[in-house]
Amino acid sequence: MKQRNRFFGKGQAAASVLMALILSASCGAAEKPAGDASAKRPAAVEPPLLEKKEPVKTVELTWIDGTEIPLEGRAFPNAKHPYARLPEEAFSKPDLAKIRSAITCPAGMCFRFTTDSSVLHVRWTNGAKPPYGLCNATGILTAGIDIYRLGEDDVWRFWMSGFPRAQTNELKTSWTPNRPCMIYLPLSSRFESISIGIQRGAKIMPLGPRKSGVEKPVVVYGTSMVHGYSSSRPGMIWTSVLSRMLDVPMVNQGYSGNGKLEPSMCDYLAAIDASAYCFFTWGGQMTVETMREKTRPFLEKLHRARPGVPILVGEYYYVVGASRLNTTNKKRSFVRELVEELKADDPQFWRNLYLVRGERLFCEDDDGTVDSAHFNDRGAYRCAEAFAEVLREALRDSAATTAPNHAQSF
């Protein structure tokens, strides 16, 4: 016992000496002369424009159905279902049979508006059996909603999420009148309806033209990583992050487990009057052989239908173990070589074809996914940055070709 006491006694003495040294060093640092480099460091700045969420007032409400509110990301407004991503006839296409259940999942769609109301209520109803959470996705992502608001510095900031606790849910919050608002819809629930409650006598108004000058949507096609898996919530899927980064409208045509370059899908993509197309569709369900068979004909058909519209192709992405390394490298090589081949075959026709390099799409420490494939929030942000870098150039080049004055605004 004496030995143990002596041991702890020495430890306490050492700890006291160490603490004295730390305090001495910190005091010395505080007393450094003004000419010292560390003394010139600016003081920490509080994050700008943090707004307090005021208690929600009890007021009489007017409820407005979502079909009467400006909705972004819906490319086929004549579709029978108000939140469908493809037109009604897509349900009967044999090559699209596997995505029928996902057509009415409003991934990437968002309401954009302003209101003079001091409160905001949102009521939404999911399908009969909404997926409140999957093995690699949260319930908010799959069946909840996200609210963003535009700050006085013109930056969109997250405000709050709506949690899917039942088939029909309601969210309420205070609101600064005339502050622009975005409400992102869920990723994978068959969406039935949504309505927004505002103070009686108030109005909902569409937002004005974008400062970027880009009004036609960027259309992103692919599989689950385009669909939005596995960000934490709808506003954090990488296509939505990309939209906010560049201030451009976005149409999400990602279909989890699919994105297999179906001929019918090419027709539907070509029917959208887009400012650019982005492809990121080389998931596990696509073999290298299938990619070789389908990719070039798909891209050629789309580009002939929309010859002046830029096409961005993202390389295959996967955080791999040794068992998948060979396949991953083959897919990445194929995508890169195909882009080089097309541009060499006909430089004029493919002048608007761009490659997004695979090494730009993932985090160097491999912490950008939840399961070695699907992006978490960090990975989604990194992917958005990679596409933004190339998309900004593509849109600027396209604008310079078609309208030189417009190119200066983006």
- Cα torsion 315, 318, 324, 325 to 10°: value is 60
Across 24-38, 173-187, 258-272, 377-391, least confident range: 24-38
Torsion sign over Cα 225, 230, 231, 234: positive
Cα separation of 140 and 185, whole Å?
10
Torsion sign over Cα 29, 32, 37, 40: positive
Cα 221 to Cα 111, 218, 225, 226, 345, distances in angstroms? 21, 10, 10, 7, 24
- pLDDT, residue 325, reads 74
Q: Is the pLDDT of residue 24 over 90?
A: no
Angle between helices 238-246 and 377-402 (to 10 degrees): 50
Q: Where in the chain is the domain with CATH 2.60.120.260?
A: 51-73+108-208
Tell me the per-residue pLDDT of 161-179, one tens digit each, with 9 for 90 and over.
Answer: 999 988 899 999 999 999 9
Across 7-11, 162-166, 196-200, 340-344, least confident range: 7-11
Cα separation of 20 and 182, whole Å?
53
Cα 101 to Cα 145, 239, 306, 351, distances in angstroms? 20, 21, 28, 37
- pLDDT, residue 177, reads 96
Per-residue buried b or exposed e for 116-128, using 16+ beta carbons within 10 Å of the residue's own CB: ebbbbbbbbbbbe
Q: Is the pLDDT of residue 408 over 50?
A: no
Give the number of other CB atoms < 10 A from CB of residue 93.
Answer: 17
Using a 10 angstrom Cβ sphere, with 0-12 exposed, 13-18 middle and 19 or more buried, the burial of residue 272 is middle
Q: Give 409's pLDDT tier (boundaries 50, 70, 90).
A: low
Tell me the per-residue pLDDT of 186-205, one tens digit each, with 9 for 90 and over.
Answer: 987 678 999 999 999 999 99
Tell me the per-residue pLDDT of 383-401, one tens digit each, with 9 for 90 and over.
Answer: 999 999 999 999 999 875 5
Which run of H or E residues covers position 243? helix 238-246
Q: Is the pLDDT of residue 209 over 70?
A: yes
What is the arithmetic mean of pLDDT over 51-67?
84
Q: Is the pLDDT of residue 4 over 60?
A: no
Q: Where in the chain is the domain with CATH 3.40.50.1110?
A: 210-410
Across 44-58, 239-253, 268-282, least confident range: 44-58
What is the arithmetic mean of pLDDT over 112-126?
96
Tell me the per-residue pLDDT of 215-224, one tens digit each, with 9 for 90 and over.
Answer: 999 999 999 8
- pLDDT, residue 386, reads 95
Q: Where are the alpha helices (DSSP H) in 50-191?
A: 100-103, 139-143
For residue 364, give the DSSP letter.
T
Cα separation of 350 and 303, whole Å?
8
Angle between helices 322-345 and 288-305 (to 10 degrees): 30
Enter the tokens of residue 318: 């996967």
pTM for the whole thing? 0.83
CATH class of the structural domain 51-73+108-208: mainly beta
DSSP assignment of 285-309 equals T--HHHHHHHHHHHHHHHHHHSTTS
Say if CB 149 and CB 180 are below 8 A apart.
Answer: yes
What is the arithmetic mean of pLDDT over 106-119?
97
What is the arithmetic mean of pLDDT over 72-98?
94
Q: Give 407's pLDDT tier (boundaries 50, 70, 90).
A: very low
Q: What angle (nearest 5°) sits at the alpha carbon of residue 356, between those of residues 353 and 360?
A: 165
- pLDDT, residue 265, reads 97
- In this structure, which topology does domain 210-410 adopt according to CATH? Rossmann fold (3.40.50)
What is the arithmetic mean of pLDDT over 361-388?
87
Cα separation of 61 and 68, whole Å?
16
Say if CB 149 and CB 166 are below 8 A apart.
Answer: no
Enter the tokens of residue 281: 């569709």
Enter the tokens of residue 149: 């608001």
